[in-house]
Structure 1
Amino acid sequence: MRKMIRTLIPTFIASATLFSAPLIAAEEEEKPVEMSSYLCKDVMRLSGSDRDIAMALMHGYILGKKGETTFVSTELNQQSNEFFEVCLDQPQANAMATFEEVTK
């Protein structure tokens, strides 16, 4: 009987962990983000990989909007730098509108 209990307890714990993981993940789902709602100051406050992702997303959006599938990294970097300069001067500006203006 004790041997059976010793076997069942770890099995129960493992099962509880496996079956509760999807429930925990479901509770932590993020809401969709509307890109046009971001202000320059919102993007400027990002750092590290969050900022990298935001910039890559904006570049990808503009490239897709133009129907382009090729890019030059140095040009994208220059556009990003110009975007940051404008955003420093106009933190309340809409980030996507500013980025579109910079990348014309």
Structure 2
Amino acid sequence: MCGLCGLLNDAPQWSDPLQQQALPARQRRLQQLAVLNRALAPFRLRLSDVHGSAWLLSSPTGQQQIINRLEQLWVEAERLLKQPIDPLDSHYLAALAPLEAR
């Protein structure tokens, strides 16, 4: 898919009902971005918003990938890292523990 088509994809995300609906859409998206970045931090990956309709996943080596749907996020993260990600790995969970205290 070309970049422009990805930006035009305004379909709802699976996680939308989990967010506080009383907040404006932009604020909900920024909250979602903060949670995702906390989950990606142990891998030194960073996610940024692209015009409110896509995400840009960046690696510490400068590689980048546009993410149109959150379902793609972990697949692309594994591709950038060149290794599988186990969300139940004890080292990963331990790295998340200090972030939860904030």
Same fold (TM over 0.5): no
Higher relative contact order (CA 8 A, sep 6+): 1
Kindly name which structure, 1 or 2, has the bigger radius of gyration based on alpha carbons: 1
> Comparing both structures, which one devotes a greater share of its residues to helix?
1
> Comparing both structures, which one devotes a greater share of its residues to strand?
2
- Taking structure 2 as the reference length, the TM-score comes to 0.31
- Taking structure 1 as the reference length, the TM-score comes to 0.30
